[in-house]
C-alpha cells in the first residue's frame, strides 16, 4: 500500500506527466478514430531500451563506483570551468559512438555523484552535458535515432554521411564550449567530504558493468524487449533494491510522448502546411528546427522525410531542432529526469533557447 501511495504522490508532483496526460485527452477528443491505433504510435523498442538502461545506470550508481570515479576526476581536474569543459567534451565524444541517450546514462549519474564530494552546480553541468550530446551525436550516423533513420533511408555511406555532418557538428561543439566560461567560473574545486565516498558494492558493480555491453549488443540486434526483461529479472533476483529506486514514471512519460506526438503529427492541418514551407528557400531548415520544438526531432525527421529528398539539409535541421525546448530532443528529457535537481527545467531553457537561435544561425551560414 505504501508503494502505491508513493507512486501516486510522485505522479501528482510530476508536472510534465500531468501535462502530457492533459494533452493526450485533448488530442483523443479531436481525433477519436485513432484510439485503436495508439499502441502502434509507441516505439516499444525505445521504451524497452530505456527500461534496461534505467536499471543498469541505477545499479552502477547504487554500487558506489560512479562516486569513486567522480572523486578520481576531481583530484585531477581542480577548476570548475575545466571540469565543465572536460565533461562537455567527454559527453559529446561518447554520444557520437554509443548514441546520445546511452551517453547520458553514463555521464549524468557520474555528474550527480560529484555532489557527495564537492560543492558544484550539478544541475548546470547536466544542462551542458545535454547540449553537448545533442551536438556530438550530430556527427555520426549512429549518434542519434534521426541520423540512423536518414542514413538508412538515403544512399549515403558511413563516411559520406559523417563528412556531410562534420561542419555542423564541429560548429555546435565549439558553440557549447564557448558558453562554458559564461556558465562556470574558473574557481578551484574544494572537496567537501574528506572521508571519501562510501565503500564499493563490488557485487552490484560487476553485475551492472557485465550486463551493459550484452544489453546494448542485444538491442542493436533487435532483441531489445527480451534483453530488458532479462536485465530486470536478474536484478529482481540479485539486487531488488535497485528496482525500487528506478524512475519508472519516466517510462510512462515517454509512452505518453510517443502517443501525443503521433496523434499531433496525424492531424490534417500538419500535412497541409508543410509542403509549401519546405519548398521555400531555407524552408526545410526552418521547418525541421521549428517542428522539432513541438513534436521532437525524431518524429519531425520521419514526418518531413516524406516531403524532401535533401537528407543532408533535413539532418542539419533536426539537429538544430534538438536544442530549444526540452521536447526538441528526447535525450534532453532523459538528462533532466536523471539529474533530479529542483528548478532545472527553467534553467535548462534559459540556456537551450539561445543555443537554438545561435545553432540555427550557424546552420544557415554553413549550409551550401
Task: Say whether pLDDT at 2 is over 70.
Answer: no
3-class DSSP state of 88: helix
Highest mean pLDDT among 96-110, 174-188, 218-232, 277-291: 174-188
Task: Say whether pLDDT at 362 is over 90.
Answer: yes
Burial 14-35 (b: 16+ CB within 10 A, else e): bebbeebeebbeebbeeeeebe
Q: What is the per-residue pLDDT across 106-153, written as a single tens digit (0 to 9) for each? A: 889 888 888 777 788 899 999 999 999 999 999 988 788 888 788 877
Q: 130 or 367: whose pLDDT is higher?
A: 130
Identify whether the C-beta of residue 356 lies closer than 8 Å to the C-beta of residue 328.
Answer: yes
Q: Read off the pLDDT of each residue in 68-95 and give the average, rounded to a whole number.
A: 86
pLDDT score, position 279: 67
Give residue 12's pLDDT band: very low, low, confident or very high (50, 70, 90): very low
**Sequence-separated (6 or more) residues with CB below 8 Å from residue 261:** 41, 295, 296, 299
pLDDT score, position 251: 84
The CB-side HSE value for 345 (13 A sphere, CA atoms) comes to 9
Q: Which segment of 159-173, 182-196, 270-284 scores lowest on mean pLDDT?
A: 270-284
Cα four-point dihedral sign 236, 242, 247, 250: negative
Q: How far apart are CA 230 and CA 227, in angstroms?
A: 5
pLDDT score, position 278: 67
pLDDT score, position 89: 93
Give residue 314's pLDDT band: very low, low, confident or very high (50, 70, 90): very high
Highest mean pLDDT among 89-98, 304-313, 325-334, 350-359: 350-359
Q: 81 or 1: whose pLDDT is higher?
A: 81
Q: Read off the pLDDT of each residue in 81-94 and give the average, rounded to a whole number.
A: 92
Q: Read off the pLDDT of each residue in 220-246 and give the average, rounded to a whole number.
A: 87
Number of residues that this document lists for the chain? 368
Q: How far apart are CA 71 and CA 346, in angstroms?
A: 29
Cα four-point dihedral sign 191, 193, 199, 205: negative
Q: 136 or 247: whose pLDDT is higher?
A: 136
Classify residue 356 by its DSSP letter.
H
What's the chain's average pLDDT? 84
Q: 152 or 204: whose pLDDT is higher?
A: 204
Give residue 262's pLDDT band: very low, low, confident or very high (50, 70, 90): confident
CB atoms within 10 A of CB 219: 21
Q: Read off the pLDDT of each residue in 166-191 and give the average, rounded to a whole number.
A: 92
Q: How far apart are CA 328 and CA 168, in angstroms?
A: 17
3-class DSSP state of 134: helix
Task: Say whether pLDDT at 195 is over 50.
Answer: yes
CB atoms within 10 A of CB 94: 22
Task: Say whether pLDDT at 33 is over 80.
Answer: no
Identify whether the C-beta of residue 359 lies closer than 8 Å to the C-beta of residue 320.
Answer: yes
Q: How far apart are CA 201 and CA 59, in angstroms?
A: 10
Of the chain, the percentage scoring pLDDT greater than 90 comes to 29
pLDDT score, position 4: 52
Give residue 171's pLDDT band: very low, low, confident or very high (50, 70, 90): very high
Amino acid at each position: 500500500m505504501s508503494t502505491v501511495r508513493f507512486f501516486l504522490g510522485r505522479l501528482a508532483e510530476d508536472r510534465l506527466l500531468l501535462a502530457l496526460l492533459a494533452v493526450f485527452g485533448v488530442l483523443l477528443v479531436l481525433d477519436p478514430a485513432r484510439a485503436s491505433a495508439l499502441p502502434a504510435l509507441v516505439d516499444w523498442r525505445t521504451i524497452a531500451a530505456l527500461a534496461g538502461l534505467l536499471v543498469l545506470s541505477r545499479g552502477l550508481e547504487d554500487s558506489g563506483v560512479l562516486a569513486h570515479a567522480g572523486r578520481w576526476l576531481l583530484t585531477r581536474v581542480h577548476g570548475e570551468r575545466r571540469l565543465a569543459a572536460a565533461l562537455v567534451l567527454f559527453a559529446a565524444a561518447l554520444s557520437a559512438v554509443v548514441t546520445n541517450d546511452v551517453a547520458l546514462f553514463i555521464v549524468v549519474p557520474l555528474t550527480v555523484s560529484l555532489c557527495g564530494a564537492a560543492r558544484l552546480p550539478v544541475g548546470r553541468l547536466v544542462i551542458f552535458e545535454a547540449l553537448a550530446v545533442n551536438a556530438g551525436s550530430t556527427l555520426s550516423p549512429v549518434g542519434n535515432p534521426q541520423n540512423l533513420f536518414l542514413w538508412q533511408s538515403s544512399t549515403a555511406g558511413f563516411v559520406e554521411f559523417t563528412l556531410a555532418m562534420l561542419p555542423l557538428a564541429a560548429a555546435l561543439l565549439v558553440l557549447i564550449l564557448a558558453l562554458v566560461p559564461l556558465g562556470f567560473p574558473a574557481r578551484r574545486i574544494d572537496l567537501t567530504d574528506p572521508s571519501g565516498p562510501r565503500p564499493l558494492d563490488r557485487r552490484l558493480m560487476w553485475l551492472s558493468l557485465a550486463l551493459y555491453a550484452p544489453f546494448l549488443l542485444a538491442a542493436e540486434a533487435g532483441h531489445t524487449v527480451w534483453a530488458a526483461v532479462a536485465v530486470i529479472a536478474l536484478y529482481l533476483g540479485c539486487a531488488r533494491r535497485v528496482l525500487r529506486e528506478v524512475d519508472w514514471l519516466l517510462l510512462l512519460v515517454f509512452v505518453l510522448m510517443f502517443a501525443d506526438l503521433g496523434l499531433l503529427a496525424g492531424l490534417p492541418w500538419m500535412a497541409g502546411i508543410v509542403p509549401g514551407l519546405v519548398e521555400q528557400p531555407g524552408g526545410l531548415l526552418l521547418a525541421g528546427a521549428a517542428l522539432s520544438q513541438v513534436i521532437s526531432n525524431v518524429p519531425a525527421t520521419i514526418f518531413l522525410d516524406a516531403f524532401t529528398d535533401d537528407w543532408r539539409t533535413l539532418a542539419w535541421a533536426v539537429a538544430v531542432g534538438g536544442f530549444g525546448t526540452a521536447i526538441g530532443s528526447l535525450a534532453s528529457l532523459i538528462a533532466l529526469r536523471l539529474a533530479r535537481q529542483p528548478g532545472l527545467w527553467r534553467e535548462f531553457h534559459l540556456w537551450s533557447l539561445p543555443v537554438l537561435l545561435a545553432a540555427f544561425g550557424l546552420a544557415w551560414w554553413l549550409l551550401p
